[in-house]
Structure 1
Amino acid sequence: MQAIGYDVDADDYHSYVHGRLPYDLIKPDPQLRSILRSINQRKIIFTNSDRIHAMKALDRLGITDCFEQIICFETMNFNLSKATRPEEIPVILKPSMEAMNIAIEAAQVDPYRTLFLDDNVKNIAAGKAVGLQTVLVSYYLVGRSTKTKEADYALEIVTDLVQVVPAIWFKEEEKDQKVTRTRSEMDFLATTAVGA
C-alpha cells in the first residue's frame, strides 16, 4: 500500500489484517508434523506474512519446532522499520527476485540443491528463475494438482510430498548405493526444504 501512496505502518497493517483471523480454526496436523519430522534436511519457512502471524499459524498446527528458521516480511524488509521516510523504501515480497535472493542468502542455501514449496504460481516461477527446485502445492484446486512449466512437481496437499518427491527421505550415504537413480533424483538427496 505504501507503494501506491498510502501512509501505512507495516506493523499496524499486519496487526489489523492478521488480528482478525480465526486462528482457533487452525487445528494441529499430526500427519504433517510426522512428515516434516521425518525429513532430515533443514526446513525453513519463507512467507510474505509477518513473524507473529507465521508463529501463530505454526503453533496452531503444532509444527513450530519442525522448522529451523522463518524468513518473513521483517527479514525481507529489515530497513523499513528504521526508515525515517518508509514511503521511499520499496516493500519487498515474493515473487520479486529481490525477495527470492534475500531468502537464499538468509537461509545460506544453494538454490540448485533446495526444494521450494509454494501455493502461488508466480512465487514458483520466481523460485525457478533463481534456480530452486520447485513444488506447486495447489490445495485450493481441490481434485487436481496443477503442473506448470516452472513447477518441477505439483501436489494437491503438502502431505502428498512423500509420494511425489520420495528422494528427500534418502540418507546422504545412500547416494552411492543405488545406481538406478536419475540425475534429478540425485539432486534431491541433500536438498534443503524451504516452504511458503
Structure 2
Amino acid sequence: MEYENQFPHSKYECLLFDVDDTLYPLSSGLSAQCTRNIREYMVNELDMDESKVPEMCAQLYRDYGTTMAGLRAFGYDFDHDHYHSFVHGRLPYEHLKPDPVLKSLLHSLPIRKVIFSNANEAHVAEVVQRLGLEDCFDDVICFESLNPENQITIPNGPKSSVIEYDDDCKRGVVLPESPIVCKPFENAFQQAFKMARINPHKTLFFDDSIRNIQTAKLTGLNTVLVGSSERRTGVDFALESIHNMREALPDLWESVSKSLDAGLSQKIAVETPVEA
C-alpha cells in the first residue's frame, strides 16, 4: 500500500480521532444515556429478560467492542438503521456546545485529520456539527464505512477467539464470530487504513478506550489516550482532555512548523534568480 506524505519533514502526516468521549468529555452524559438506550432496545425490541440485560449488555461490550456486534454474533437479527436511530437518535445532543478551543487547535495543525468511530454516520455528523467542527476533518470512517450493508451476514457458529485485554481468566475462550467490523479489533483498523489511505507509522491516534489504544499500538499507530493521565501499556501519550493537546504534544506543532519552514525555504531557493 502506498501513502502520500504531504509533510516529509513532519513525524506525522495524519491525525486519527475517535469521536465519543474523545472530542467531547464523558461528563456530557451522552455515553450514559446511550447505555440506557441500548438496554431499552434489548428489552423492548428483542424481548430480552430485563433483569439480565444490564449484565449481558456489559459482557457483550467487553467481548465484542460494541453491544450491537455482540448481539449479532449470537444470532439476533435486526435492522441496523433502526437500532442506531433508537440508540443514538434519542441522545441529549443539546448537551454538546460549540468548542472554539478545540476548533482552533485542529485548525492550527495543517495535517490531514480523519475520524474513526464505531458509531453510525448520522451520529458522527450530529456530534461534529454540535461541536462546530464541520470543517476540521478530511475524512470519516464509521459504522457504514466498515460494514457495507450487502457484506453483513449472520454467523453460523463459533469461529474466532475473542480475547479481552487484562482478563487472563478468559484467554482462549472461543466465542461466536460477529459479522460486525468494529474497534477494538485489528481488522477494523486495517480496513480504516486502506479506506482512508493511512500510513499507521506516520499517524497519531486519539481514543478514550484503552482496548482501542492497545490494538492501535499493535498495528503501528502512535497513540494518545484521552480522558485519563494514566500511562498504560500501549499508550504513548495520555491527556485528561483533548484540550491538552498542545501542552502534551508540543513536538506536533514544532515538527509541522519545521516542515512548513523547510518547504518555504525550498520554494524561495527555486524562485530566487541567481545573478552572475
TM over 0.5: yes
Answer with 104-113 or 125-134: which moved more: 104-113
The structure number with the bigger radius of gyration is 2
CA contact (8 A) 1:40 1:169 kept: no
Deviation at 1:171, TM superposition (A): 5.1
Q: Deviations over 1:33-60 (max 9, x none)?
A: 1001111100111000001000000000
Would you say the 8 A contact 1:118–1:124 is kept in 2? yes
Matched, 1:135 2:224: yes
Where do 1:154-165 residues align within 5 Å?
A: 154-165=238-249
Q: Which residue of 2 aligns with 1:57?
A: 127
CA offset digits 1:101-120 (Å, max 9, x no partner) = 01111121211110000000
User: Does residue 82 of structure 1 match 2:155?
Assistant: no
**Where do residues 167-186 of structure 1 align in structure 2 (5 Å cutoff)?**
167-170=251-254, 172=256, 174=258
With CA pairs under 8 Å and 6+ residues apart, which has the higher RCO, 1 or 2? 2
CA shift for structure 1 position 134: 0.2
Alpha-carbon spacing, 1:95–1:172, altered in 2? closer, same or farther (3 Å): same
Q: Which aligned pairs between 1:25-36 and structure 2 lie closer than 5 A?
A: 25-36=95-106
Give 1:13-32 correspondences, 5 Å limit: 13-32=83-102
Contact residue 92 and residue 98 of structure 1 kept, 8 A: yes
Q: What is the Cα deviation at residue 170 of structure 1?
A: 2.8
Question: Corresponding residue for 1:148?
Answer: 232
CA distance in structure 1 between the partners assigned to 2:255 and 2:231 by the alignment: 27
User: Amino acid of the residue matched to residue 120 of structure 1?
Assistant: S
SS where residue 75 of structure 1 aligns? helix
Larger mean CA deviation between 5-14 and 127-136 belongs to 5-14
Aligned counterpart, 1:114:
203
Question: What is the aligned-residue RMSD (CA, Å)?
Answer: 2.0
Deviations 1:60-109 (A, max 9, x none): 0000210001100111111xx125x7323710100010001011111212
Q: TM-score, normalised by structure 2?
A: 0.58
SS of residue matched to 1:64: coil
8 A contact 1:42–1:67 mirrored in 2? yes
Distance 2:121 2:204 in 1: 22
**Structure 2 CA distance for aligned equivalents of residues 110 and 126 of structure 1:** 15
Distance 1:122 1:26 in 2: 25
